[in-house]
Amino acid sequence: MLTSLIVLILGFAALVWSADRFVFGAAALARNFGVPTLIIGLTIVAMGSSAPEMMVAAQAALADKTDTAVGNVVGSNIANVLLVLGVTALIRPLAVSSGILKREMPILILVSLAAWYIVSDNHFSFAEGAALMVGFVLFLLGLIYITKNNKDLDDPLVSETLEEVPQGVPTSKALLWLVIGMVLLPVSSGLLIDAAVDIAKYFGMSDLLIGLTIIAVGTSLPELAACIAGALKKEDDLALGNIIGSNIFNILAVLSLGGLINPATIDPAVASRDIYFMLAAALVLVVMSLNFRGARRINRLEGGLLVTSFVGYMYFII
């Protein structure tokens, strides 16, 4: 048990670090090859915080643990809103003014409803996984179309995103970090899944529960770090954008891997319990963020309510 716990912690640390290095190398390499900076920021860099979930979902599906893959996505999306946004707002209230984010919020609701539909029959099929992946490709193409047509260039999210793209990195160094990330990501996620399964067996936890709790919180650490850093640098829209973008990527790109790799019957608790928490979290995020008369502020009281709700959810399912 102690060995598994140590491996789990080391696996999380290696997963988060290797994901960061992979994104850094990929973004720097793309920039050196002439890819527009804004496209890099809104795609490669924005997807970076979902890289741990993606690798964990793939490894779990390959290990015939589709419940863990699904639980990781649902749990991560809940943790991103209730825990990550809540803690960030407690540290510093967030002002929301980006028009891009306001357009992405309905997309978040739509893809969350798609996830609800997929799990509602307690079965995740290959066709459903493929449909989500197609949606992911269309979403990326939409982002690229917006940037190429010079729309929203005066949006506050744009300037904050551009600052996150690495500059002046030699191609050899970018390639080195890319390779290191590509090697360590699957290795660390594999160790993490093995350790999590051992711990789950020790405590009598289901594959779904381990995905909803330990793995979900662990893979949300990059979002937490990015949001706190964004808030401290007064990049409020970027902090919120990390959460919205990550939740959309999680459903379209990460959840799809479960159906594509290992179509299976999933734990009925997802459809009867957890998916509704995820939908509620997405709706709460929209309500707290939107103000059609101008900027909206997510204050510390709302942040405290979000964190309290997360603690209550963890207590309820455990």
Domains and CATH numbers, the chain: 49-162+206-317 (1.20.1420.30)
7 in Cβ contact with 191 (< 8 Å): yes
pLDDT band at 70 (very low <50, low <70, confident <90, very high): very high
Residues 6+ apart with CB under 8 A from 153: 38
Q: What gap in Å lies between CA 289 and CA 237, rounded to an integer?
A: 10
Average pLDDT over residues 49-76: 89
**Average pLDDT score, the chain:** 85
Residues 6+ apart with CB under 8 A from 15: 52, 55, 56, 185, 188, 189, 192, 218, 219
CA distances from 157 to 41, 96, 121, 238, 252 (A): 10, 10, 38, 6, 22
pLDDT above 90 (res 132): yes
- H or E stretch covering 17: helix 2-32
More confident residue, 47 or 167: 167
Radius of gyration of the chain (CA): 19
For 303-315, write each residue's pLDDT tens digit.
Answer: 999 999 999 999 9
Phi and psi, residue 202, nearest 5°: -65, -45
Give the residue ranges of DSSP H helices in the chain.
2-32, 37-40, 46-48, 51-62, 66-79, 86-91, 99-119, 126-148, 156-162, 171-203, 207-210, 216-219, 221-232, 236-249, 255-261, 268-269, 275-289, 300-317
pLDDT above 90 (res 117): yes
Average pLDDT over residues 148-162: 63
Q: What does the block give as tokens for 317? A: 């399912």
Strands (DSSP E) contained in 190-275 are 264-265
For 216-273, write each residue's pLDDT tens digit.
Answer: 888 888 788 878 877 787 777 777 878 888 899 999 999 999 999 999 999 999 999 9
What was the pLDDT predicted at 154?
62
Shortest CA distance to 281 belongs to which of 263, 307, 262?
A: 307
Q: What gap in Å lies between CA 53 and CA 266, rounded to an integer?
A: 18
Q: What's the whole-model pTM score?
A: 0.86
What was the pLDDT predicted at 86?
94
pLDDT band at 32 (very low <50, low <70, confident <90, very high): confident
pLDDT above 60 (res 153): no
Q: What gap in Å lies between CA 222 and CA 207, rounded to an integer?
A: 23
pLDDT > 90 fraction of the chain, expressed in percent and rounded = 38
What was the pLDDT predicted at 121?
94
Average pLDDT over residues 274-302: 82
Residue with tokens 């989500």: 132
pLDDT > 70 fraction of the chain, expressed in percent and rounded = 89
pLDDT band at 298 (very low <50, low <70, confident <90, very high): confident
What was the pLDDT predicted at 27?
84
Residue with tokens 């290696």: 14
25-34, 181-190, 199-208, 290-299: least confident range: 290-299
pLDDT above 90 (res 67): yes
10-19, 158-167, 229-238: least confident range: 158-167
280 in Cβ contact with 77 (< 8 Å): no
pLDDT above 90 (res 212): yes
User: What proportions of the chain, in percent to the nearest 5, are helix, strand and coil?
Assistant: 80, 5, 15
pLDDT above 80 (res 192): yes
pLDDT above 90 (res 274): yes
First-to-final CA distance of the chain: 19
